[in-house]
Chains A and B, each alone.
Chain A
Amino acid sequence: EAQVTQNPRYLITVTGKKLTVTCSQNMNHEYMSWYRQDPGLGLRQIYYSMNVEVTDKGDVPEGYKVSRKEKRNFPLILESPSPNQTSLYFCASSAGTANTEAFFGQGTRLTVV
Chain B
Amino acid sequence: DAKTTQPPSMDCAEGRAANLPCNHSTISGNEYVYWYRQIHSQGPQYIIHGLKNNETNEMASLIITEDRKSSTLILPHATLRDTAVYYCNSGGTSYGKLTFGQGTILTVHP
Contact = CB atoms under 8 A, between A and B. Distances in A.
A98 interface: yes
Contacts, number: 80
A101 to B, nearest CB: 4
Interface residues of B, number: 25
B31 interface: yes
A109 B41 contact: yes
Contact of B98 (A49, A92, A95): A92
Given A33-B97, A42-B102, A58-B97, A99 B42 contact: no
Interface residues of A, number: 32
Contacts of B36: 101-102
Interface in A38-94: 42-43, 45, 48-50, 58, 88, 90, 92-94
Given A99-B49, A100-B93, A101-B49, 7 more contacts: A30-B96, A33-B96, A42-B100, A92-B96, A98-B94, A101-B92, A104-B43
